[in-house]
Structure 1
C-alpha cells in the first residue's frame, strides 16, 4: 500500500516537473493593464514567472515565443486570448534550446505598451463640434491635469474627470463614460487648411447629450 502511494506521489511530481513555465516580460503597462494581466495569468493553468528584463526592440507589442522542441497548442491559445483581451494582436515566434528559458515547452510572453511609453499632451482648450444635436456645438471645453470643464450654453460649468487610456481619451460622467479617438486632420478655414487636434466621440450616450460631441482645436499658426 505504501509503495502504491509512493508511486502516485512520484507520478504527480513528475507531471508537475514536465509542466512548462510561462516567462512574462512586460514594459510600459498601465496599472489597470497590469492588474488585468495578473488576474488573467492566475486564471490560466500554467505556472508563470515575471522577468525583469527589457523586451528586444525587434519584438512586436505582443509576442509569444515558443520552444520548437515541444509546443502546447491549447495553453498557447489561452495565452494569445489573454493578449487579445488586453487589446493586442499576438505574434507567435519559435526558438530553440540555445535559449535556456525555452526548452521543454516553456513559453515566453512579451507585452509592451508603445502608447504608454510616448509623451501625451492634452490640449488645454477645445470646442465641441460635430455634435448629435446642433445646439451643443461650439461649447468651451477646458482640460486640467485630472479634470475637464464643459461650459454649457446657460453658462453653467460641469466638471468631470478624464484620462488617456490605451490610446483613447476617456471622460467619465456618473456611472458611464465617453471615449474619443484622436486624429490630426487639416481643417478648412477662411485662411486656408489648418492643422488640428480632433477627438471624435466613439459612442452615443443617452445623457448628457453634450457628451455626444467631438472635441477640436484648430491651430491658426
Structure 2
C-alpha cells in the first residue's frame, strides 16, 4: 500500500482548522456540562423529593439513549419549539446536556461517599444540608472525582465527531470533506486518529497535573 504524501501534506493544515473548531465545541460544552452536572448531582443528594426524581429521570434518559439521537432531538426539536439555533450551538447544547447527565452521577456517587461523620459534625454547629454539601463535602470530593470527570471530558471531546451528521465543520467533518474530494481514506483517517490521540493525551496530562496539585483532605 502506497501513501499519497501530497494529500497528507495538504490535509494537515485543513485538519488543524477542524481541530480548532473541535476544541472550541468541547471547551464550551465541557464547561456547561461540568457546571450543570455538579448542580444536578448536588440536587440529587440534597434537593426536594420532586427535584431528585426529575434529576433521576433526566440522568436515566441521558444514559439510556444514544447520543446521536439526543443530537437529533436538539437539532430538530428546538426549531419545532420556535428556538432556531445554528448547527454549532445545537451541537454544543446536545453535548453539554449529555455530559451533565454523566457528571451528575459522578458527583452523586463521590460526594455521597464522603465519611458520614463529617456531615454530623457540620450539623452539630448549625450548618444546613445545602451548605454542608457545597462547603464541606464537595471540596473533599474534587480530587477523588478527577479521574472520572477527566474520562467524561475525554468522551465528550471524542463525541464531537458525531456532530458531523448535522454538518458541524469539526475535525471529523473536515476529514470527510477531504476524503470526498481526494478519496484518500487511509491517509485521512490515520491523520484523524493521530490528531485525536494527541489532543486527548495532552488533556490527560493536564488532568494528572491538576490532580496532583489539588489538596489531599
TM-score (norm 2): 0.23
Structure (1 or 2) with the greater helix fraction? 2
Q: Which has the higher contact order (CA 8 A, sep 6+)?
A: 2
Larger Rg: 1
